[in-house]
């Protein structure tokens, strides 16, 4: 048997199954990777909103990371919903210790409505610690604004922002979820060349989990060793397909999920 790549997500649980570790593990199962998870927080949420959040202690998050990295190891790691300075400081220390390859940092800081989720010290800790070990950071445009202080709306502004974000330390930057007329645009910068990734805009509110699916898919392809540019481009296509597949689904009364799986 060809052994599946080993992937670890360190992020939050979404009881609604759309985002967070549920989205990551689903994307990895569909793609053919072996997914592991260290849960940072448990959320009570559905398509309408987040009803509650309980953070795990950073000691217990570290225990989960330690358990899997000291035994299974990982070919790539994704970070998601961390949400407190203490967690960023304590858990990134564990990543500095184990030095897993292919660290993808999804800086979950602003929700899809553009509302900041945590206090500024969390953003600062991301830049000081996680950005310095990240192979790739994948903000949405609101997160790019928070992290750079710039306005990030147009594709030209996304192209300026990737340069600013790269100067903060990460090896590669992908700003996701831009819009240009009838296309969705992600902007990728590898420290050398800026690349636009485009796919047709799909008129649906079922985009919950799209960012997680994208960064999880990049993580998978990095673990497969295809190289950053190819990983980002395949992940963009995978996510566009997941948005198309979930577009007509009526699940809940609000912001529905993307669907990276198959039917039946
Ligand atoms: O999509 C970002 C995200 C990550 N992790 C958790 C979430 C969300 C957004 O809802 O709930 C747990």
Residue 78 lies inside a defined structural domain of this protein:
yes
Residue 56 lies inside a defined structural domain of this protein:
yes
Residue 102 lies inside a defined structural domain of this protein:
yes
239 lines ligand 1 (CB under 6 A): no
Residue 89 lies inside a defined structural domain of this protein:
yes
Judged by DSSP in three states, 150 sits in: coil
List, in order, residues 6 or more apart from 31 with CB less than 8 Å away: 217, 220, 238
Residue 188 lies inside a defined structural domain of this protein:
no
pTM: predicted TM-score of the whole model, two decimal places: 0.97
Q: Is the C-alpha dihedral spanning 185, 151, 122, 112 positive or negative?
A: negative
Spatial distance between the Cα atoms of 73 and 66, rounded to a whole number of angstroms: 9
Nearest CA to ligand 1 atom 10: 19
Number of domains in the chain: 1
pLDDT tens digits, one per residue of 140-181: 999 999 999 999 999 999 999 999 999 999 999 999 999 999
Strand partners, 196: 187
Strand partners, 86: none
User: Which ligand 1 atom minimizes the distance to the CA of 20?
Assistant: 5
20 lines ligand 1 (CB under 6 A): yes
The answer to whether 251 and 257 have CB atoms below 8 angstroms apart is: yes
Residue 109 lies inside a defined structural domain of this protein:
yes
Spatial distance between the Cα atoms of 88 and 26, rounded to a whole number of angstroms: 25
User: CATH number of the domain that 27 lies in?
Assistant: 3.40.1190.20
State the pLDDT at residue 1: 77
State the pLDDT at residue 188: 99
Out of 20, 40, 54, 258, mutate this one to test ligand 1's pocket (max ligand atoms within 8 Å of CB): namely 20
Instruction: Give the mean pLDDT of the chain.
Output: 97
Nearest CA to ligand 1 atom 5: 20
Hey, how many other C-beta atoms are within 10 angstroms of the C-beta on 80?
Answer: 27
81 lines ligand 1 (CB under 6 A): yes
C-alpha of residue 81 to centroid of ligand 1, in Å: 6
Residue 148 lies inside a defined structural domain of this protein:
no
pLDDT tens digits, one per residue of 81-91: 999 999 999 99
C-alpha of residue 74 to centroid of ligand 1, in Å: 22
Question: Rounded mean pLDDT of 193-222?
Answer: 97
19 lines ligand 1 (CB under 6 A): yes
Which tokens belong to 145?
């604004």
State the pLDDT at residue 192: 98
State the pLDDT at residue 112: 83
State the pLDDT at residue 152: 98
16 lines ligand 1 (CB under 6 A): no
Spatial distance between the Cα atoms of 45 and 124, rounded to a whole number of angstroms: 27
State the pLDDT at residue 263: 73
User: Which ligand 1 atom minimizes the distance to the CA of 211?
Assistant: 1
Out of 78, 80, 207, 255, mutate this one to test ligand 1's pocket (max ligand atoms within 8 Å of CB): namely 80
List, in order, residues 6 or more apart from 262 with CB less than 8 Å away: 30
108 lines ligand 1 (CB under 6 A): yes
C-alpha of residue 261 to centroid of ligand 1, in Å: 18
Whether residue 59 is predicted with pLDDT greater than 90 in this model: the reply is: yes
Give the structural domain span for 223.
Answer: 6-139+211-246
pLDDT tens digits, one per residue of 106-144: 999 999 889 999 999 999 999 999 999 999 999 999 999
11 lines ligand 1 (CB under 6 A): yes
State the pLDDT at residue 264: 61
Spatial distance between the Cα atoms of 89 and 130, rounded to a whole number of angstroms: 9
State the pLDDT at residue 69: 96
Residue 179 lies inside a defined structural domain of this protein:
no
State the pLDDT at residue 262: 81
Question: Rounded mean pLDDT of 203-223?
Answer: 97
């Amino acid at each position: 048997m060809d052994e599946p790549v080993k992937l670890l997500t360190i992020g939050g649980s979404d009881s609604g199954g759309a985002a967070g570790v549920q989205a990551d593990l689903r994307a990895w199962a569909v793609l053919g990777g072996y997914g592991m998870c260290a849960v940072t927080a448990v959320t009570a949420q559905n398509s309408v909103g987040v009803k509650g959040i309980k953070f795990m202690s950073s000691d217990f998050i570290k225990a989960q990371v330690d358990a899997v990295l000291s035994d299974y190891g990982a070919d790539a790691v994704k970070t998601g919903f961390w949400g407190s300075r203490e967690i960023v400081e304590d858990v990134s220390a564990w990543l500095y210790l184990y030095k897993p390859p292919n660290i993808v940092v999804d800086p979950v800081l602003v929700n899809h409505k553009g509302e900041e989720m945590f206090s500024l010290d969390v953003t600062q800790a991301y830049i000081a610690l996680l950005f310095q070990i990240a192979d790739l950071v994948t903000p949405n445009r609101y997160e790019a604004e928070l992290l750079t202080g710039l306005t990030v709306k147009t594709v030209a502004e996304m192209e300026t922002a990737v340069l600013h974000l790269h100067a903060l330390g990460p090896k590669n930057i992908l700003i996701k979820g831009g819009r240009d007329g009838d296309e969705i645009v992600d902007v990728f910068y590898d420290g050398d060349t800026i690349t636009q990734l485009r796919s047709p805009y799909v008129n649906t509110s079922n985009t919950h989990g799209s960012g997680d699916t994208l960064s999880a898919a990049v993580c998978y392809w990095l673990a497969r060793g295809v190289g950053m540019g190819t990983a980002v481009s395949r992940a963009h296509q995978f996510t566009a397909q997941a948005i198309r597949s979930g577009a007509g689904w009526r699940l809940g009364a609000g912001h529905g999920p993307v669907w990276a799986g198959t039917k039946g």
